[in-house]
Amino acid sequence: MAHLLAFFQFLFLFLDVGSAGPLLPCPWGLAPRPYLPERHQCGADGHRRRRRGWGGLLRKKEDSTGFLKSSFVGAITLGTPPQDFRVIFDTGSANLWVPSASCEHAGDKTCLKKKNRYNSSLSSTFEEIGSKFVIKYGSGALYGYLSKETIGLGEELTVPGQVFAEATDDPDGVFALTDFDGIFGLGYSGIAMHDVTPILYNMKRQQLVPRKAFSMYVHKIKGSSYGRVFWGGSNRAYYHPPLTYVNVLTKGYFNVTMDQIEIAGHDEPFCMDNCYAIVDSGTSLIGGPKPIIRRINKLLGAESAEYGEYMVDCKAVPVLPDVEITFGGKTFGLNSGQYILRVKNEDGEWVCLTAFMALDLSGANILNWVIGDIFLAHFYVEYDLDSHKVGFAYKKDPA
């Protein structure tokens, strides 16, 4: 069916760190991040490998998921009649997977039994593939097999014949206690595992959208957040035009040039030449080279804590300067209320952390920054896989 609109809008929920209780310790990604060295990946216990990142600030609760609750989470359906799932919209991966009802193991964690689980026997549009599927992360992996099904994205858009993974075994229990069911990868086909065609490519092939593009918008109101994904392009009603575009440098992750990052009022640029960054909605924080992150936090009055996080006096937060990030010659500023995370420590006391974390990316080609949700949630961002560009604009909240 030919597309009738330039885009389809799709509602999602943005889970915000500030309203989610205790800070959880795996900031870098909800899916495996091959661009990160192994020491930054999440291990079998849901924490960063080798060091139990932020463990000193985590309340040791049974339901700890190991992930920061700052995520683009939305509802999709699979099958006919539709079966409901909550997934992370993740620009840092390119596969769709959800838990499967066909798990053969007895354990709740390994089978993801507390999740919504896809049951192929209940769907008239299921097509069997059966090839094995595995996603490796940290010191473990998620196992399953490939199937084909109709995917529903809201009331307006269905994508038939989409290959996805039925997850049958989470041996380390990393995903068992998260508040989402699966992951909806939105990256380029070059990073799709097992040569699966990503869903956005199928949308374009089936003429459901005019181009392989989508955009994300988050609106915060009365202590909660919701958002929209616009499939096929952008909706000018939700941003102040124009979009400022930067070219994607490699057709895998959304790896772009970042002109500059500065602290307002300090004449000290941190990109002497161009910096390079991956724009990643599956990552929560902003990561950069260790010496620069150390300097930024020092200028913000933050002190390094035991596990690499940086803490500031909560009383000082209102007077902290903006942090400005420049893409394509246009500067986008974050105020202190946006880049400071207010969380409870293991004693139930409120503490304030900055969103700037060090990455030791030696040998990681040209990458030296990761721009995650703490930035992306405050701006309108378009991802264009046809023109190979990422566009940024100040968002326009509805009246």
Catalytic, out of 90, 170, 172, 181:
90
Report the alpha-carbon angle 19-24-29, nearest 5.
105
The answer to whether residue 90 is catalytic is yes
The DSSP result for 80-102, as a single string, is TTTEEEEEEEETT---EEEEBTT
Residue type, 247: N
Catalytic, out of 16, 169, 170, 280:
280
CB 57 within 8 A of CB 68: no
The answer to whether residue 373 is catalytic is no
CB 46 within 8 A of CB 18: no
The DSSP result for 179-193, as a single string, is SSSEEEE-S-GGG-G
Contact residues for 120 (Cβ-Cβ < 8 A; gap 6+)? 79, 101, 102, 126, 128, 147, 149, 166
Residue in 364, 253, 202 with CA at minimum distance from that of residue 31 = 253
CB atoms within 10 A of CB 337: 11
CB 158 within 8 A of CB 183: no
Measured between alpha carbons, how far is 159 from 379 in angstroms, rounded to an integer? 28
Catalytic residues: 90, 280
